[in-house]
Amino acid sequence: MKKWLAVAVLGIALAGCSSVPDDWSNMTQTEIQSWQASGFTAEVAQQWKASGFNSEAAGLWKTMGFNLESATEWSAQKFSAEEAKNWVATGFELDDAVDYRARGLSPIHREQAVE
């Protein structure tokens, strides 16, 4: 069920991308400056915006190491970029992270063994 939901969300996001402009059209000068300050080109900014992200959120997901596809999947499950990064950094896939979080658990960072 969870994988189906992720595929559906991704499919909607990608379907929306086919009609997304590849320039700065439909954005205010303030929005353009914000997207540019976050390191996005017009085409990529439009894709993130069409998927429901603003420049600040998209920049955070990008900084945390996520692309649009993975950010969309994790965000659809109500993870923040920082939470998702912590789960991924400790080796969890999205489905497992959802299950463990539902049980009230959080990822544990293992300390490196000192020799």
- What is the residue-level pLDDT of the chain in tens, covering all 115 positions? 566 555 555 555 555 556 888 999 999 999 999 999 999 999 999 999 999 999 999 999 999 999 999 999 999 999 999 999 999 999 999 999 999 999 999 998 755 444 5
Tokens of 106: 């959080």
Asked if residues 76 and 6 have their Cβ atoms less than 8 Å apart, the reply is yes
Separation of CA 39 from chain center: 15
d(CA 103, CA 15): 34
pTM: 0.77
Nearest to 20 by CA among 49, 61, 63: 49
